[in-house]
A and B are shown apart, each in its own frame.
Chain A
Amino acid sequence: MLIRRHFVLGALGLAAATVASPAARAQSAGGNTLVVATTQVPRHFNGAVQSGMATAMPTAQIFASPLRYDDKWNPQPYLAQSWEVAPDGLSVTLHLVKDAVFHDGHPVTSEDVAFSIMAIKANHPFQTMLAAVDKVETPDPATAILRLKNPSPSLLLAMSPALMPILPKHVYGDGQDLKTHPANLKPIGSGPFKLTEYKQGEYYTLEKFDKFFIPGRPKLDKIVVRLVSDQNAAVVSLERGDFSAFPFIAGARDIDRLQKSPNLVVTDKGMAGVGPLNWLAFNTRKKPLDDVRVRQAIAYAANRDFIVSKLMGGKATPALGPIAPDSPLAEAAVEPYKVDYAKSAALLDAAGYAKGADGSRFSLTIDYIPGGDEQQRNVAEYMRSQLKRVGINLEVRAAPDFPTWAQRVSNFDFDLTMDTVYNWGDPVIGVNRTYLTSNIRKGIIWSNTQQYSNPKVDELLQAAAVETSPEKRKALYSEFQKIVVSDVPIYFINVSPYYNAFAKGLGNLPNSIWGMMSPLDELYWETPPKT
């Protein structure tokens, strides 16, 4: 009996060995590698000082963060195995995992967490994100206590991998300016992958970190990210099987084409956290746009349904308000501005802009961000013919490059402009900046360039930022959304469609709210691609 059991085990062991060897060969031949193509070229790999998807994607692989998120906006333990928010909301305690180490072998301690949080607060472009943090205490190496000036319910979302990479203090804390730190291009983190090679403008290679603190992960050995400049070429290569993943695909035709490919899984999941909104903004201090009736009239003359279904090929989701519809805080019951030319004309008449002899009321200009034709230019051109119907002459002002457009808009030198602004999870991080009176800052793009000012809105946003009760907070944001939509500093159009395409055969696709900007430690090949 005993012998027999040994025999069976031995046979199993033998079987395992014979099964394992071809797998091992496949691995050495690159069978457990994921090749990603992206048009998002990072400036460097330090998400503590740089926002944007291009940096967030590698940052989430290289660095671990206190928390991570699932696909329903629930925080999950990561470097922090547990956490508590004090009843008064004025402190958050993180209990760190004890066996986490950086890629250079140093243990991850609360000192590193404290250093990173203060570094992000000082350097990250999202100034409101950690504004509430006063200091971080480190009673022992596994405990970090964030002391806050006021309650900050958005703080837990700010602890996501895309926004709060934990940097090793012994590397980044050497006194050099973090924004230009040499380690930003040779990063050392505690995430599932380490950066082993970076060829500027061509590719970067992430290799499995074998001392990653979650046992058995990451499941992939290697991720190669190829930086491509031409989306069309990348689409063709993806169909051919040169790449296994292509995140952040914009453009209805490419999405449509990839969706028809039998070897690919194409999904719009994984962008809920970013919440990229595409909209038409008004310069609310410039005549005649300072009159809310004129702005409402323009909103009634635009046809969101047509834009989304026809101009964007049905791949975009309509957005009615300032908070992306995927967010749990989004309010659906706002004025939708269904197309109504009669109402639009009546509003313009009431505002005192009657039609002249030539059938026109006044002339305006519209700008757009150059480069993204489907989301920006085409809508601007479409608006010209829509507004002509209600007697407004709209001239399209093309900008030859992004800095020209940004300069015009940030210096309030515009009437109407198309714009794309991201929510970045919590309103405090990415929404407030567009509406707060205090954020009318000339020269800074993606601040309150509409020069919109409503004391009630300021009050609501300030109250919601420190409101610890989720229900009350949601109610405050609901009211905020209704007011902003009826004041129309912005006519909201849609969520910019960013789709991710993956080769069939991949398991545990990154469908969480941060998608490809979350650690890919669970992603694996169910059926590896043929080599």
Chain B
Amino acid sequence: MTVIESTSQVSAPQTDLPARTAASPGRLALRQFTKSPSGVAGACMLILIILVAVAGPSLYPVDPLDLVGAPFMPPDADAWFGTDYLGRDVLAGLIHGGRATLAVGAVAALITIVIGLVIGAVGGFFGGAIDATMVKITEFFQILPPLLFAMVLVTLFGPKLTTITLAIGGVSWTSVARLTRAEFMRLRDLDFVKASRAAGASNVNLILRVLLPNALPAVIVSATLAIGVAILFEGGLSFLGLGDPNVMSWGLMLGQNRNYILDAWWAVMFPGAAIFLAVLAISLVGDGLNDAINPRLRRRS
């Protein structure tokens, strides 16, 4: 079984001619991914969570910021998940808040990837003084504790969902940058790159069309995990009182209700469980992707 698998894939992602075999690595990776039970479970959970966040608000159109009942109502027939310290519906918070939480996670991860890719690719491709500058910039951000740095940014620009998202993205791109840089440095002297260069490809062309597609698999895994990290970050910031009070999110629910945990466990436990499940699902998907995309690792295991 394993023998067949590895022989069938040994030449695929490492090929020097990405155009001709473009469809097959993706399909192979997908096939491989479906063979990892934890990855599939994670993907199913994630799809479910996204579905609830996207479709839920129209199916359960209760404003999560409205007071629907008395404060601290325990879960019962009127409010399935109870009410919080103001009398807001915890279920509405979970459904509507998921949207904000996932959006923060996705957008922050996107920012992480974009900044990381640009810094890492430029440094790794050009080398020399440019690389040294890029590494210095990366190191500057790396030595600052990310949560503290994000807190400073949010304090400076105000606790709004946009600033929170930008702050999270702005502090967590360093690992992506280092990863990209290492991949680019490894790839840039390989024969197919030299061939492209000899054929007259410009630097932009080389970076975007030759090197990037080959460096992407590693980055995709790290991007997936970055979503999870961003969600945790948002929770952490809200926990410290730096959430946006005008947009319900899981982190905000957790942060605001934690003082009342002895009176209303449900208002803390449900958003906490939601964050836990979402981050777990994303991690499982990330691990599954890692196994599927990285053939060397697969052969070893």
Contact = CB atoms under 8 A, between A and B. Distances in A.
A311 B85 CA distance: 7
Contacts of B65: 381, 384-385
A382 B86 CA distance: 7
Contact of A398 (B86, B159, B262): B159
Given A382-B67, A401-B155, A396 B262 contact: no
A257 to B, nearest CB: 8
Interface in A116-171: none
Nearest to B241: A370
Contacts of B256: 373
Contact of A395 (B243, B246, B263): B246
Interface string A375-387: 0011011101110
A253 B260 contact: yes
Given A388-B66, A398-B244, 9 more contacts: A253-B262, A253-B263, A310-B71, A311-B71, A373-B256, A373-B259, A395-B246, A398-B242, A398-B243
12 contacts: A310-B87, A373-B259, A378-B85, A381-B86, A381-B245, A385-B67, A385-B88, A398-B241, A400-B154, A400-B159, A400-B241, A400-B242
A400 B87 contact: no
Contacts of B241: 370, 398, 400
A384 B88 CA distance: 12
B70 interface: yes
B40 to A, nearest CB: 41
Interface in B61-105: 65-67, 70-71, 85-88
A404 B256 CA distance: 20
B245 A396 contact: yes
Interface in B225-271: 241-246, 256, 259-260, 262-263
> Which of B86, B243, B244 has most A Cβ within 10 Å?
B86
A398 B164 CA distance: 13
Contacts of A384: 65
Interface residues of B, number: 24
Given A373-B259, A385-B66, A378 B86 contact: yes
Interface in A152-205: none
B158 interface: yes
A311 B244 contact: no
A386 B154 CA distance: 28
A398 B158 CA distance: 7
B142 to A, nearest CB: 25
Nearest to A253: B263
Nearest to B66: A385
Interface of B: 65-67, 70-71, 85-88, 154-155, 158-159, 241-246, 256, 259-260, 262-263
Contacts of A370: 241
Given A253-B263, A385-B66, A400 B155 contact: yes
B149 to A, nearest CB: 14
A400 B246 CA distance: 14
A404 B70 CA distance: 32
A381 B66 CA distance: 9
A398 B71 contact: no
A377 B260 CA distance: 14
A528 B123 CA distance: 73
A397 B159 CA distance: 8
Interface string A241-254: 00000000000010
A311 B263 CA distance: 13
A451 to B, nearest CB: 24
Nearest to A370: B241
Nearest to A377: B245
A408 to B, nearest CB: 11
A381 to B, nearest CB: 6
Contacts of B263: 253
B260 A400 contact: no
A302 B245 CA distance: 19
Nearest to B68: A385
A73 B158 CA distance: 45
Contacts of B245: 377, 380-381, 396, 398
A380 B246 CA distance: 11
A239 to B, nearest CB: 14
A118 B244 CA distance: 48
B169 to A, nearest CB: 19
Nearest to B70: A310
Shortest beta-carbon contacts, A-B, top 3: A400-B155, A396-B245, A398-B159
B172 to A, nearest CB: 20
> Which of A253, A386, A398, A401 has most B Cβ within 10 Å?
A398
Contacts of A388: 66
